[in-house]
Structure 1
């Protein structure tokens, strides 16, 4: 479970990293869209931050992730300029591909193709179809 300190730092890093990737370093993506940051997890000592990127838009997600990993030092430096008044130490950034949205879309497609027959109707119900009240005592 993350402490409030970790949560605050993760939230700050997520907001500022998004701004860095979109505004400060758009040249890394060759004019394409910058990846969205889906989550940031910070270690208890605030020394490392695991950054999960959603690379759905565009193709070659592995290539885009490699570009980001190769330029991690430049990204960290740009981040340090943005948060120097707020944070004393800028954590080491470790980037990961977050494919949970693609997995959710795939599962939605799989569930949409299933042929599930409707449940049979139960003819034994009362006319007003109210569920029977459970008995609490023997005399009821």
Structure 2
């Protein structure tokens, strides 16, 4: 369970990272929209785990590697934005948020079950 402090700090990081990716994301990933879906912060506020979703990109793992290569630069830009609010700029760990893929997969499964039930009722 995250404390209120962790949740508030994660929200600040999420907003500022979203602004950074919106303004400068094209430099890292041309023609790709990057969305920060979730940020989790450790209790000591030293590490921020950032979950990303990539739109208009066929290879999410390659996009994630590109973001990881620019992690130091992204952290520096984040630090410039939040330096007056925190003592230490957290290390950033990036992960792919596969929630939308999971939802799509579950929708397909439910559709298949629904079709099979409809066929059994007709028979």
TM-score by structure 1 length? 0.78
Corresponding residue for residue 72 of structure 1: 71
Corresponding residue for residue 52 of structure 2: 53
Provide the rounded CA distance (Å) in 1 between the counterparts of 2:109 and 2:25. Answer: 38
C-alpha contact (below 8 Å) 2:25/2:34 kept by paired residues: no
5+ residue gaps, structure 2, are: none
The superposition leaves residues 30-70 of structure 1 with CA deviations (integer Å, 9 ceiling, x where unpaired) of 2x133111100000000000001112432111111000001
Choose between structure 1 and 2: higher strand proportion.
2
Provide the rounded CA distance (Å) in 1 between the counterparts of 2:26 and 2:78. Answer: 14
Aligned residues: 118
Q: 1:103 to 1:25 in 2, by over 3 A?
A: closer
Choose between structure 1 and 2: higher helix proportion.
2
5+ residue gaps, structure 1, are: 121-140
Provide the rounded CA distance (Å) in 2 between the counterparts of 1:92 and 1:71. Answer: 13
Paired residues for 1:1-140 under 5 Å:
1-30=1-30, 32-114=31-113, 115-117=116-118
Q: Secondary structure at the match of 1:52?
A: strand
Where has structure 1 moved over 4 Å in runs of 4 or more? none
Q: 1:85 to 1:100 in 2, by over 3 A?
A: same
RMSD: 1.7
